[in-house]
Structure 1
């Protein structure tokens, strides 16, 4: 069995150098990323380099993480449209809604100067993007493939929207707060941390791939991933584990976590009644917890909320109310 330990290397590990980096990030508003400095270069999906000559003022976002991050850095007023699945923050819910299934004319009628997509849309709807570009609209595809790429993604959004300073502040805040969890984690011996199965898509028996946002959250919260050898599905953050392998490790699983949302609507009852799942100790002991998809899978500041939520599940305070259990 491969139970993944908490990483001790990489960008999110705690070290004296990270403290220096945090200090430098706090000073960045007076450095090279000062607002209004253009052109600048970003790297979009597919490792393509893009030169950005200005801050865009009329943005349509087709991915909730783009929307949330733009709002977090103060660019909400530049949004003229959002995806049909956007629901956070509340102040944007009345904006016009768009889908990649809409025709190009609907987008063009709202006069955007930038449409933000992610690779899934880029692959599935190339003709739409081609028409938008032909009409003079800039189309940028962004989505970090791992937790370590998240900061560059935020900085790219800051450059595109003209909120570089605010994006740098997000990086600094996240760095500082995640390091506090890292320090706490170092006080917990590896063999005392709960072993967890984290379900991404229950009906397909899929979990999360190494390096994904969800496993980053789980690791910082103090959990050990029982499915560290799951097979990544293409270049996604999802991995196939399979029911047979899951059941074979059932006695080792202390906690059964499941993200809950559009991608994985499975209820606690559905999970508990899955044929064969009584072989999983966490299921027998009713230690099944649903966690909002948005706070564990989306590359936003709310991953900090996800870490806190999972930490409360894994290390409950005596008498505490674990509201995520359903």
Structure 2
């Protein structure tokens, strides 16, 4: 009787353990959901991807990798068969991408929507639809890095060709010429600075005020001088007319003195006209004095070329 009770307890324990194992497998498997196969096509390296790897849709686990093989029609293609849950809304615009998990480096398939075509991707177990795989981040970095290194190499080759021995010698000579030119330019800048200081002293507020005042007084003076010259010209005309009239009494006796007076009058008029022209050309002469005249022949500092 005791042996039968031990056998019954052992059988019951084995039954319960089997049932627990079945429940654990069912729970770990996430339940049985209907799935369909799709084929991911790629020409890239898929190192780290193995069968039973996860398939994720926008980060959510939706299936697993069933098979990996070469395309018998084109050996440059790799065919990755994936099993995806039926409730995943795949479209003809869906693409696949090889992704890696954290520090473990385990690869999995990541399904993404490009938004180019939103029509549903109808499953077909006899001829599974194909999904294109786009380059992963590591592939893009590898291609970009290789292109960058190639460009850097070409740049270094061009730089070496540009900075050859002859060009370096020319560059050294150019830098030496620039250094010499800058050294010669320094005295000129100092002289220019001194000249500007002198000009600033000449054109201070007091001199500018005097010049403005003199220029304001020259205008009325010139107007009055023009009126005076007009009156003198009229008097000269009348005098010439009186001298030329033979019928006028006593005119012949005054002729010599009148001629002398007319000459002096004409000379004075020309001198006054000359003064007015000088004032019109250089009104600053009222403040700074008349400009110096260039020395003539026989005088000290005379230059036949026209300079001093």
Q: TM-score per shorter chain, which class?
A: under 0.3
Structure showing greater radius of gyration is: 2
Give 1 or 2: higher helix fraction: 2
Higher relative contact order by CA 8 Å / sep ≥ 6: 1 or 2?
A: 1
Q: Please report the TM-score for the alignment, with normalisation by the length of structure 1.
A: 0.18
| TM-score normalised to structure 2 length | 0.19
